[in-house]
Amino acid sequence: MTGVRLPRPSECRSCADPIRFVKLQTTGKALPVNPRPDPDHGNVVAHLAGSRLVGYVISADHGPSPLFPFRFVPHYATCPAEQKPTRRRDSAPADDPLFPI
């Protein structure tokens, strides 16, 4: 969409990357999303309501809608500060003194 001004980006407190917020219709909470719409990978749809982005997360109950022209990726999916190391599946479980093997 050309000529549309999205709200100004904010800054992620964890990684300092730019983010925007989408106010979720279902909860009223603000969900941080990456600042650029991503129609191919975004699962958060939004539209401008005044100067705010309002939308919802695409789910089995709520698919994409043409009334919500923007699709964003939630920032937590790409935030480098939020990437937690995962345990390797082939590693042995830690010994637990309460539940010996």
- pLDDT, tens digit (0-9, with 9 covering 90-100), for 41-92: 999 999 999 999 999 999 999 898 989 999 999 999 999 987 766 666 665 5
Instruction: Say which amino acid occupies 43.
Output: N
Q: Where are the alpha helices (DSSP H) in 5-88?
A: none
Q: What pLDDT score does 9 carry?
A: 95
What does each C-alpha distance from 17 to 28, 41, 58 come to in angstroms? 24, 19, 24
**Is the CB of residue 41 less than 8 Å from the CB of residue 75?**
no
Q: What pLDDT score does 92 carry?
A: 59
- pLDDT, tens digit (0-9, with 9 covering 90-100), for 25-35: 999 999 999 99
Distance in angstroms (rounded) separating the CA atoms of residues 57 and 36: 16
Q: What pLDDT score does 72 carry?
A: 97
Would you kindly state where each structural domain of the chain is located, as residue ranges? 10-79
DSSP state of 91: S
Residue 1 has pLDDT above 60, yes or no: no
Residue 42 neighbours by CB under 8 Å, 6+ apart: 33, 70, 71, 72, 73
